Structure 1
């Protein structure tokens, strides 16, 4: 192989290798919540004994089933939206039409459960407020992203779907915030429980903002006329989340 061949080959390998790192990492981060959701669905389907921990789900199973199914679809298909090769294919647009409604179902059912379920005492009023704020923010972000892509604004659409996904995958990051504390100090009290839950959402949103700003810095600003033309061609275009 000549030097020229080697040089031209190496960049290709570098671009193929990291392409799936982000989707794989996001799916890995979702594994524990997905397993937990699957376990919950199994217990409901097999009529497991009613306990203080699961009584609210047994008495009103539809919201939690909608939440689990919507969340799993949103997290898994949403992670794949960050793969550049898929964003260039028609699959990306089709998947986006599934992901957005799934995200709205996830956020809406979370709000319903927060307001109407009898939550365990460990949750506390602080977590109650955070769940309302972050659930509403997730739903609003999806709506804003949808409106943006309808008018052909791919950049705004991408930014707001990234924020929605950051909130949606909060349960995965909360596993990481709870694990060190629990190992070091044992089960947290109500206040620390709320802080650790909130930290998962905040960490994700900070990372999302860093990604959004890096993405914007790599995108050259086109002349006004070119941007207007691009927006008109992009109406009805595919969802485009990733960097």
Structure 2
């Protein structure tokens, strides 16, 4: 009898890594920006109006950058079904770290929205969006954790996908903001808020479609 693994085509193997690879690529620009910010803080870069808030209270932004980076990369591998099935121990261990990183990313994002001075271009509407989606990310991860403790795998998967979609919003926001920058220049407060919200909403729409297809 031929085993399932023996009958799987090379094309099937490549498709297994299509989604994780795309998710990691989507995360590259925010991770590079985060690495530059960490380098500035560690190297004692010149303090400017744009980065002064980070030097005044560096811990939240450092934790946020590290947590988001780990969350984005590790989370992408959870979308490789064959890899997940073959290494259930890795899936559980990575899942625990993902929960911790996701919660830290959400909480530090909320803290920075509430307590950091706002940079030029960030208004009340964008701050409100950040509070809504940051809270939604935190709640999604908590509900996903509660679901797996009840052994409700379907709900666990759904809530964790939603939390990951929100956490990956910065990557999609690069794509939603780029056309505006190219054609109109730097957006004002209102269009910037809408472009940022569009990144989160697009990710959530894709997440809901993926959840429904799994069901």
| Short-chain TM bin | over 0.9
CA distance in structure 1 between the partners assigned to 2:63 and 2:82 by the alignment: 30
Report the counterpart of residue 103 of structure 1 in structure 2: 102
**Equivalent residue runs for 1:26-41 within 5 Å:** 26-41=23-38
Q: Deviations over 1:91-143 (max 9, x none)?
A: 11111110110000000000000000001131101001000000000000000
Aligned residues: 210
**Which TM-score applies when normalising by structure 2?**
0.95
User: How far off its partner does 1:13 sit?
Assistant: 2.3
The two structures have a TM-score, normalised by structure 1, of: 0.84
Equivalent position of 2:135 in the other structure: 136
Q: Secondary structure at the match of 2:103?
A: helix
CA deviations 1:70-99 (Å, max 9, x no partner) are 000100000011111221111111111101
Q: Which has the higher contact order (CA 8 A, sep 6+)?
A: 1
**SS of residue in 1 equivalent to 2:9:** helix
Q: Deviations over 1:30-69 (max 9, x none)?
A: 0000000000000000000000000000000000001000
| 1:10 CA displacement | 7.8
Q: Gaps spanning 5+ residues in structure 1: where?
A: 217-243
* CA distance in 2: counterparts of 1:138 and 1:86, whole angstroms: 25
Aligned pair 1:75/2:72, yes or no? yes
Q: Which moved more, 1:83-92 or 1:23-32?
A: 83-92
Structure 2 equivalent of residue 150 of structure 1? 149
1:20 aligns with 2:25: no
Aligned residue in 2 for 1:239: none
Unaligned runs of 5+ in 2: none
Equivalent in the alignment of 1:121 = 120
User: Which position in structure 2 is the counterpart of 1:198?
Assistant: 197
